[in-house]
Amino acid sequence: MCDELTAAETSAWLSRMALSRRDFARLGAGAAAIAGLPGCKAAPTIGSNAVAVALTLSDTVSIPTPDGEADALFVRPRGGRHPAVILWPDIAGLRDAYRQMGTRLAEAGYAVLVVNQYYRSARAPVMQTIGEYFQPEAQARMKPMIAAITPAGIASDAAAFVAWLDARAEVDTARKVGTAGYCMTGPYTLRTAAAAPARVGAACSFHGANMVNDTPDSPHRLIPQIEAAMLIAIAQNDDEKQPNAKAVLRETADGAHKKAEIEVYPAQHGWCTPDHPVYDSVQAERAWGRLLATLSAAL
């Protein structure tokens, strides 16, 4: 999951690849840097700029929430009304990698809101790449930003985002809303679905952090409250650290008679994000295909 332990695991992986985390951060962890690493694949290019402009419209928007104005990227197909999706970025926040992912999803026919989960502390981008997070000083800078995001705050943000989307002419309000989250925001998808159960039809978590814990507000305890179809894709190293989590998620979903696809992928935590050092193009594309299938069936 997204913590110092995972950062240490990634640093060990980088060491095996003969590249220090400081070198990785300095390179920027972009597609070109990743392409040069042994055993790594280049980040996928989701169309040319000209194609993206032709197919989609995008704006930086401001959304009122109980805790202030949240900045976000709103990207959608040109013309028509479309089902909406709230995209929650990983621990490094809204940046080019998630702009790319949001645009790709919009090109598939969705009105996508890529949010800045750190708006209480700073406007996006708080980091240019995930590579910055592997610096101890960056982790120290991020700690108060992360602490400012509470379960109650996530729920109120989600309700505000759904309401904002429902007021947009580009959104087909006859269709359900979807949500996808990565790393620290994987569990935010369940909180989003619980915050607006009548509107959220799909909740998709990829290498989600701390989906199951012993606290009263553990994300898995929300499953009985939600009406969304769930897609929970677990990283193999997260499963190794918490092997019972998948069973708890399965038992909770089955006990509440909720639809849930729960799978451990043969990939490391962070495998879906194109600027991550452990990005796995094969498994990322498989996860992306399951995301599209889940949204298509549920929205």
Spans of all domains in the chain:
4-210+220-298
158-178 average pLDDT score? 98
pLDDT at 270 over 50: yes
pLDDT value, residue 55 = 87
Confidence grade of residue 9 (pLDDT, cut at 50, 70, 90): low
pLDDT tens digits, one per residue of 44-97: 443 333 444 468 999 999 999 999 999 999 999 999 999 999 999 999 999 999
> Could you give the percent of the chain with pLDDT greater than 70?
82
- Name which residue leads in pLDDT, 57 or 4: 57
Each residue of 274-295: pLDDT tens digit?
999 999 999 999 999 999 999 9
- According to the model, what pLDDT value does residue 86 have? 99
**What average pLDDT does this structure show over 203-211?**
98
Mean pLDDT over residues 23-29, rounded?
A: 40
What's the average model confidence in pLDDT over 111-126?
98
Pick the CATH number of 4-210+220-298 from 2.60.120.10, 3.40.50.1820, 3.40.50.150, 3.30.565.10: 3.40.50.1820
What average pLDDT does range 211-221 have in this prediction? 97
Average pLDDT in the chain: 88
What pLDDT, on the 0 to 100 scale, is given for residue 48?
36
pLDDT classification of 7: cutoffs 50, 70, 90: low
DSSP letter string, the chain? --SHHHHHHHHHHHHHTT--HHHHHHHTS-HHHHHTSTT--PPP--S-HHHHHHHEEEEEEEEEETTEEEEEEEEEESSS-B-EEEEE--TT-SSHHHHHHHHHHHHTT-EEEEE-TTTTT-PSPS-SSGGGGGSHHHHHHHHHHHHT--HHHHHHHHHHHHHHHHT-TTB-TTS-EEEEEEGGGHHHHHHHHHHSTTTEEEEEEES-S--S-SSTT-GGGGGGG--SEEEEEEEHHHHHHSTTHHHHHHHHHHHTT--EEEEEESS-TTTT-TTSTT--HHHHHHHHHHHHHHHHHH-
pLDDT of residue 21: 45
